[in-house]
Amino acid sequence: MESKNRGFIVNYYTTFNGTKLTREEFEQRLLKLLDGGAMTCGNIARTMKVTNQTIYNITHYLIKDGTVIKYKDKQGIYMYAKVKECLLAELLYPKAEDMEKLFKIKGVTHRKIEDGTSKGYGGQKITYGESYYSSADWG
């Protein structure tokens, strides 16, 4: 993989075939590939003809966006899969923005630790019994 590097900003990724792709184009191809099911990083890299490091870089952004998940399978190998969206859940369950619109917030109270009451154990004094070393016979 070859990339044009301006500092730490990569403008495009080059496949082993010589095709130059921007990150957005590469993400679209990766998401289309993951529509078929979960794959390992090595399988994705061989299919798209790039290095594993390129896949790690691209999937890092996709995981942060919430479009791709990374999990371990039964053998302990990391798999990348596209997040499945449930249209029925979107219809039935309310969103956070909709819930906020139902209530009127009158004000917000910020409290500090110093404002609270002390929740100590009562200041019990623990006394220890005599031992052989502190007795009068020792010494």
CATH code at position 66: 1.10.10.10
Question: Does the residue 106 lie in any domain?
Answer: no
Percent of the chain surpassing pLDDT 90:
31
Give ∠ CA 39-43-49 in degrees, rounded to 5: 130
* Distance of alpha carbon 43 from alpha carbon 77, whole angstroms: 12
Question: Does the residue 21 lie in any domain?
Answer: yes
Question: Does the residue 126 lie in any domain?
Answer: no
pLDDT at 137 over 80: no
* Distance of alpha carbon 55 from alpha carbon 106, whole angstroms: 48
Question: Does the residue 103 lie in any domain?
Answer: no
In the prediction, which pLDDT does 108 show?
A: 79
* Distance of alpha carbon 41 from alpha carbon 39, whole angstroms: 7
Give the least confident one: 15-24, 88-97, 113-122. 113-122
Question: Does the residue 40 lie in any domain?
Answer: yes
Q: Which domain holds residue 41?
A: 2-82
0.85 exceeded by pTM: no
pLDDT at 135 over 70: no
pLDDT at 39 over 90: yes
In the chain, the number of structural domains is: 1
In the prediction, which pLDDT does 46 show?
A: 92
Residue 133 φ/ψ, nearest 5 degrees:
-75, -25
Question: Does the residue 129 lie in any domain?
Answer: no
* Distance of alpha carbon 45 from alpha carbon 115, whole angstroms: 56
Question: Does the residue 110 lie in any domain?
Answer: no
Contact between residue 40 and residue 80 where contact means Cβ atoms under 8 Å apart? yes
* Distance of alpha carbon 7 from alpha carbon 17, whole angstroms: 25
* Residue 119 banded pLDDT, cuts 50, 70, 90: low
